[in-house]
Structure 1
Amino acid sequence: MNDYTFDDVAVVMGTYNEEEAIGGVLADIERVTDGRAEVVCVDGSSDRTPEIARGMGARVVEQEPRGYGVAVREAVLTPDRPVVVTTDCDDTYPMERLPDFLDAINEGNDVVSGDRITPGAETMPALNRLGNRAFAALASLLLGRRLHDVTTGMRAYRRDLLHRIEWTENTGLSAELLMRPVARGYRVTELPIGYDERAGETKLDPLRGGAAIAKSILRVGVAERLGRQLDRSSETVDRA
C-alpha cells in the first residue's frame, strides 16, 4: 500500500467571487501542508479571486461560469497528483483536518468524506441542515447504506477513481461524487468534521438548489441500482 505524503496531494476547488475568503483558505492549506500540496482553483469570478489565488501560489484554471458541478468536475480531473482533496473556497471547512484525510487514504480508503452533520453543524442555517439530513436519508435509502452527509464539499479521493467514473451532475455533483463510488463497491468512509460560518455571501438559493440536488440524488441512485440489476442479469445470461 502506498504511503502518501502532502507531496502527493492536490487540494482543488471551484471558485466564484470569493475574494473575501480565498486568501484565508489558501493560507490555511499552506500552513497545514507546509506548502507541499498543490492547489488548483477553477475560477469563473468577476472579482479579485483569481488574482489573489495566483498571488498565493495556486494554479488557476479560468472557466466561464456554468455552475458548481462544471467547475468542480474540472477541478478534480485537472491534477496529476495521486490524492485529490476537494474543499470549498468560503472558509467553512477545517483545513487542519487535512492530515486526518490523508491518513484515512493511506489506510486503504478510496474516498474519505467529511461529515458535517453528525457533529451538529450548528453554524449551518437550520433549513440547510434539515435539507442535508433529508438528502443523506434519500441517498441511504437508494444505496442501501447509511450515509450521514452526501453534500459535503470536503473529501479526499484517489485520483484514479475520479478518472474511472463518468460524472454527469451539476448542482448535485457533491452527492454524485460520493454515491457512485459507494454504489460501485469502492472503499468509502465518512470522517466527522467541524463546519464554520461562511465568509462572504452564499450563491445558492436553498429551495431551488435543494430541489436540484434531490433530483440529482434520485437520478444517480436509480441509475446505479438499475446498473447493478443489469450487471446481475448479464451474469445470469453468461452462466446459462
Structure 2
Amino acid sequence: MGYTFDDVAVVMGTYNEEEAVATVVSDIEEVTDGRAEVICVDGSSDCTPDIAREHGATVVRQRPQGYGVAVREAVLTPDRPVVVTTDCDDTYPMEQLPAFLDAINEGYDVVSGDRLYHGAEAMPAFNRFGNAAFAALASILMGTRVHDTTTGMRAYRRELLHDIEWTENTGLSAELLIRPLMRDYRVRELPIAYRERAGETKLDPIEGGAAIAKSIVKVCLEERTGLR
C-alpha cells in the first residue's frame, strides 16, 4: 500500500512572510484535507509565526542564519516518511502535492518541481536566466541533465534526508538535488506552475547567485572525488 497524506510533512523556512503564510498553510490544509503535517522553521521579526500557528502549523523558532540553515532544520525535523519542501511566498502550486506523492509512490526518492518547464513568466527575467544557467552548470559537472536546480518545491523520502550530510546554506536547494542524483537515488523532475511571489524577496540576486554557483561546483566536485 502506498503513502497517503497522513504520511506527509510539508516543511518550509519562513522569514517575515506574514503576507503569504496564511495562504500557503491554508492551501496545504485544503489540498491534503488537513492530514499533512505543516512545519515552519521561523526566524521572523513580524507576525509570521503567530499566523502560521493560528492556521495549524507547527512552528520551530530559530535565530536567522540564512536560507539553508532554516530549510535543513525543516527537512530533518519531521518523523513522517515523506517530506515535501516549499517556500512561504505563495509561488508554488500546493494543488500539485498529489502528483508529487504519486511519484514517490511510484518509487522515486526525490521528486523535484521544475519551474522553468512552463516558462516561469512570473519569475523576473534575470532570475530565469540565472536558474537556467545554474541547471546548465550542474548538468555539465554531473553528466546528467537537470532543468531546475534551485526550486523550493520537492518531495523526499525521509531516510534519504537523514542518510546524506548537507553542508550548504544559500546553495542548499541545489545540494538537495545534486547529491542524491550523483549517488544514484531515483530522481524525477516534475513540471510545475510558478506564480508571482507575495512580499519582497530576501535574496540578493548577484550575491546569492554567486553563492549558489559556488555551491554547485563545490558539491559536484566533492561527489566526484569523494573528498570534503
TM-score for the superposition, normalised by structure 2: 0.99
State how far apart, in whole Å, the 2-side matches of 1:19 and 1:3 are. 35
Gaps of 5+ in 1: 231-240
Q: Does residue 147 of structure 2 align to residue 148 of structure 1?
A: yes
Q: Displacement of 1:184 after TM fit?
A: 0.2
Deviations 1:18-45 (A, max 9, x none): 0000000011000000000000000000
Any stretches of 5+ residues in structure 2 without a counterpart?
none
- Equivalent position of 1:133 in the other structure: 132
Q: CA deviation at 1:140?
A: 0.4
Displacement of 1:200: 0.3
Q: How many matched pairs?
A: 227
The Cα shift of 1:119 comes to 1.1
Residue 38 of structure 1 aligns with which residue?
37
Query: Which portions of structure 1, spanning 4 or more consecutive aligned residues, are displaced by more than 4 angstroms?
Result: none
Q: Alpha-carbon deviation of 1:156? A: 0.1
Code of the residue aligned with 1:182 in structure 2: it is: L
> Secondary structure of the residue that 1:121 maps to in structure 2?
coil
Residue 123 of structure 1 is matched in structure 2 by: 122
Displacement of 1:223 in angstroms is 0.5
**1:15 equivalenced with 2:14 (yes/no):** yes
* Residue equivalent to 1:169: 168
Overall identity of the aligned pairs, in %: 78
Corresponding residue for residue 238 of structure 1: none
Counterpart mapping for 1:26-175 below 5 A: 26-175=25-174
For residue 99 of structure 1, give the secondary structure of its aligned residue in structure 2: helix
Residue aligned with 1:181, SS = helix
Residue aligned with 2:123, SS: coil
Secondary structure of 2:56's partner?
coil
Inter-partner Cα distance in structure 1 for 2:217 and 2:39: 30
SS across alignment from 1:84: strand
Distance 2:221 2:116 in 1: 24
Hey, what's the Cα distance between the residues in 2 that align with 1:119 and 1:201? 23
Q: CA deviation at 1:198?
A: 0.1
Q: Please give the per-residue CA displacement for 1:89-126, whole angstroms capped at 9, x wherever unaligned.
A: 00000000000000000000000000001110001000
Distance 1:148 1:219 in 2: 19
Secondary structure of 1:109 counterpart: coil
SS for the counterpart of 1:113 is: strand
- The CA RMSD measured in Å over matched residues stands at 0.7
Deviations along 1:25-79, one digit per CA (max 9) or x if unpaired, are 0110000000000000000000000000011111100000000000000000000
SS at match of 2:84: strand
Partner of 1:187 in structure 2? 186
SS at match of 2:59: strand
Distance 1:191 1:206 in 2: 25
Amino acid at match of 1:130: F
Which letter does structure 1 place at the counterpart of 2:192? Answer: I
Distance 1:211 1:225 in 2: 21
